[in-house]
Amino acid sequence: MLTAKQHELIRFIQQRLEETGVSPSFEEMKEALDLKSKSGVHRLISALEERGFIRRLPNRARALEVIRQPEDAVPASRGAAGLDAANDAVASVSRTLRDAPEPANDVIEIPLHGRIAAGAPIEALEGQNSLPVPAALLGPGEHYALEVSGDSMIEAGIFDGDFALVKRTDTARDGEIVVALVRGEEATLKYLHKDGGAVRLDPANAAYAPQVYRSEEVQVQGRLAGLLRRYH
């Protein structure tokens, strides 16, 4: 028989998996169970894992899988009607476990394509390294990352050495920050503005002037979806 807190935790994990496909963080579990520290969560997780109720998925950050529900989660009943109710409850739990989405990796790897200028355009889409990124920073669609070089987007909060997380697309709305490939050779990170047959790429730094091209000279290769910054 599990403790009340162990019951509460396994229900919370299962509920979060059903709703989002992602197991909750230790901080979320601590708050949900009203615990004083994450060490209490670690103890509960270890106890449930040792007893075969959950397991940690290898090579995935914080990913947990509920293997089985505790038997005493189904209220005891008497008589044929009670037995039917218990069987229905067990069947429902089995369906829930079977149909629940597989826990999603909380950190995913996306391609890292070299450096991109936030000043003068430079070549960008080079190299095929990868960058681990929290899944919460990315929405649906295909993404890649570029390391920012330069300071022309600092007023938009984008600094030299940041990693731009880019959703791959060839379309963008006026005023969005995009990766623009200029004349098929150089890529830059700028605000996109369309003006008739021209395209203006605006910096976010008063020290830099906008860049104006014919529309056929500029190809959108993605929209900015997020940023990662490393602190040394």
Instruction: Give the pLDDT confidence score for residue 4 in this predicted structure.
Output: 85
pLDDT for residue 177 is more than 90: yes
pLDDT at 128: 53
Residue ranges of the chain that CATH labels 1.10.10.10 = 4-99
Q: How confident is the model at residue 39 (pLDDT cuts 50, 70, 90)?
A: confident
Architecture of the domain whose range is 4-99: Orthogonal Bundle (1.10)
Q: Helix or strand or coil: residue 142?
A: coil
From 149, 152, 167, 194, active-site residue: 152
0.85 exceeded by the pTM?
no
pLDDT digits (tens, 9 = 90+) for 139-170: 788 888 888 888 989 999 999 889 999 999 99
The b-or-e profile of 129-155 (16+ CB within 10 A means b, else e) is eebebeeeebeeeebbbbbbbbbbbbe
- The CATH architecture that domain 107-228 belongs to is Ribbon (2.10)
CA distance 174 to 111: 26
Our answer to whether residue 190 is catalytic in this structure is yes
Residue ranges matching CATH 2.10.109.10 in the chain = 107-228
